[in-house]
Amino acid sequence: MTTSGTADEPMALAAERLRTAGMRVTAPRMAVLMAVSDSGGHLDADTLRERAQRITGRLSLQATYNVLRALTDAGLVRSTQIAGHPTRYETERHDNHHHFVCRACGSIRDVECAVGAAPCMEPRLPEEYDTQEAAVTFWGLCPGCRAAAPVS
């Protein structure tokens, strides 16, 4: 099981993606990229390291941070910082979606940008400001925690 077969395909794909991005293809990078890809997103560095380790064996946390930085810079991965949580990573889909964060359990859910081309992208600011991006974070209770909450 080295060059073909079902198990190796995701890895070959990861390698291809790295190569296309002009990056060196290394085991840690493939492993982390795979971990981010098949996770459904929103995992922190330590969790990703753990998952990547299952794929590639030993992997330092520092390397995980290095790889995530490199992947983010290359546009393959998107990082999101949520107040009170460590940085989360997900596959970059270039759709500028937002996030809903449950105040009770901390779970994160993607939220499509409400009105197509982002109404939030046009702040009431003087002309001289160069607004490049709008990050919206919705806070509240997810269905599960809402049901379990004392008052509603």
Q: How many CB atoms sit inside 10 A of residue 56's CB?
A: 17
Distance CA 101, CA 142 (A): 8
Q: How far apart are CA 81 and CA 98, in angstroms?
A: 12
Closer of 5 and 116 to its own copies (Cβ): 116
In the complex, what is the shortest distance from the CB of residue 72 to its own copies, in angstroms, rounded to a whole number?
13
47 binds, among its own copies, DNA, none (CB under 5 to 8 A by kind): none
List of residues 6+ apart from 14 with CB closer than 8 A: 29, 30, 33, 34, 37
Q: Which residues bind DNA (CB under 7 A)?
A: 19, 23-29, 44-46, 58-63, 65-67, 69-70, 81, 86-87
Point out which residues bind its own copies (CB under 8 A). 81, 83-84, 98, 100, 103, 109, 111-112, 114-115, 119-120, 122-126, 128-143, 146, 152
